[in-house]
Amino acid sequence: MRTSRTARLIDVAKAAGVSLGAASTVINGGKTSIQVGEESRRRILDAARQLKYRPNLTARALSGKSTRLIGIVNAVISQYSSAVFVNHILSIAANYDYHTLLDIVHVGNHVIFDKGVEGLENLLARHPDGLIFMGIPDQEVMKHTTVPNVTIGFKDNRHSDFSFDLEAGGYMAGLHLAKHGRRRVLFICTSQDANKEKLFGLRRAWQESGFAPDAVVVIERVLNDIYGVEDLILREIENGADAAFCSNDFLAARLLAFLHDRKIHVPQEIAVIGFDGDIFSSIITPSLTTVVQPFQECAERAVKLLIERIEGKESGRKRRKNIKLLPGFFTGQSCGCEIGVLPIAGWSRDMLFLEESFGKRISKYEDFILQHQMKKE
């Protein structure tokens, strides 16, 4: 019985009709005096694909060469957002000729700590050039990190390279509902503690709009479902609640389905806004108005920064920590708007913590909403 043999670099060279040195220059990169033309380069890469050649990453690492691998460490993020974010990182890393390790390691409070360290060590054993931490890992885990890395904090965290302005997202949602004339809002969330920044922003918008603090009612759910709180939601609607802001889009979709079953009309009787900007937001009925997390922008910045650190191109003068990314906004029928994208590209921008006051940072959004409404009228 004939067994398949793992392709070697010399096999690639023979198949492409070039020297071993030329094949090594194209496959392994690095500084070399060998010049390879475009036609020869194409033949080498085609041969490598046909033969399913895989470089020896351990040998490359030991020789000091780049493995062109980026590892992802997923600390604390929902499965829905995680899938979207990882997909962006994969695509953007590929544009820089980097491959991404898909062995996502969960570390931190949600997993036994020892497994977090063990998982990270297993990831490092594959010799990535760098790591992207999605969520802030435990400091003990960070001690085991021996390669350049970039950290993304999904909450207000001053120890991350990038974070999302969740408070601004809550403020946007509250301001938008207030502009629609809503007076009493339900904040339906998986956990009040995990979503306190969104809630703070919502309450601030409600307060600045002249409403009493008790006009924001928190309904807390551990799971992404409204099972068990249906009666509470119905009672609050009977008591005058005319808006709902959900901590994620999946929860908002479940709420829309429940309201439809109970023949409660959206947005006529109650407006609904979600959070994250999941792809299904525009295709459900009614289409969901949602705060859009800047996943693509963050992925682009994170990959670019990591490669700069890998290649030693990030100077001390350029090194900036705690860059906060503002979310965008997608308007759907669930709040009474027409379907469309509000200021995603037009005003989403990064900024340092403490660089500007919160009110000053968000004022551009309020101006944009007013201009948008004036155009519609």
% of the chain surpassing 90 pLDDT:
33
pLDDT range class, residue 354, cuts 50, 70, 90:
very low
- Taking residues 56-73, report their average pLDDT: 67
When mean pLDDT is compared across 31-35, 139-143, 147-151, 276-280, the lowest value belongs to 31-35
Please choose, from the candidates 212, 195, 360, the residue with its C-alpha nearest in 3D space to the C-alpha of residue 274.
195
Boundary residue ending a domain (79, 113, 147): 147
pLDDT greater than 80 at residue 171: yes
| pTM (two decimals) | 0.72
When mean pLDDT is compared across 56-60, 186-190, 249-253, 283-287, the lowest value belongs to 56-60
CATH of the domain at 38: 1.10.260
Do 81 and 220 fall into the same domain?
Answer: no
pLDDT range class, residue 290, cuts 50, 70, 90:
very high
- Taking residues 349-354, report their average pLDDT: 29
- Taking residues 227-243, report their average pLDDT: 95
Residue 45: its pLDDT value, please?
84
Do 191 and 280 fall into the same domain?
Answer: yes
The verdict on residue 103 lying in a domain is yes
Range with the largest mean pLDDT of 34-38, 79-83, 152-156, 332-336:
332-336
The H-assigned helical ranges of the chain are 9-16, 20-28, 38-50, 57-62, 79-95, 113-124, 139-143, 166-179, 196-208, 230-238, 249-261, 295-310, 344-347, 358-376
Sheet containing 130-134, strands listed edge to edge, beginning at the edge strand earlier in sequence: 99-106, 69-74, 130-134, 149-153, 162-164, 323-325, 350-352
| 91: exposed, middle or buried (Cβ count in 10 Å: 0-12, 13-18, 19+) | middle
The verdict on residue 372 lying in a domain is no
Separation between Cα atoms, residue 214 and residue 148, nearest integer Å: 47
CATH of the domain at 139: 3.40.50.2300
Separation between Cα atoms, residue 294 and residue 327, nearest integer Å: 5
Residue 318: its pLDDT value, please?
55
pLDDT greater than 60 at residue 216: yes
Residue 258: its pLDDT value, please?
95
Do 134 and 38 fall into the same domain?
Answer: no
Separation between Cα atoms, residue 171 and residue 201, nearest integer Å: 4
Separation between Cα atoms, residue 162 and residue 293, nearest integer Å: 13
Do 91 and 128 fall into the same domain?
Answer: yes
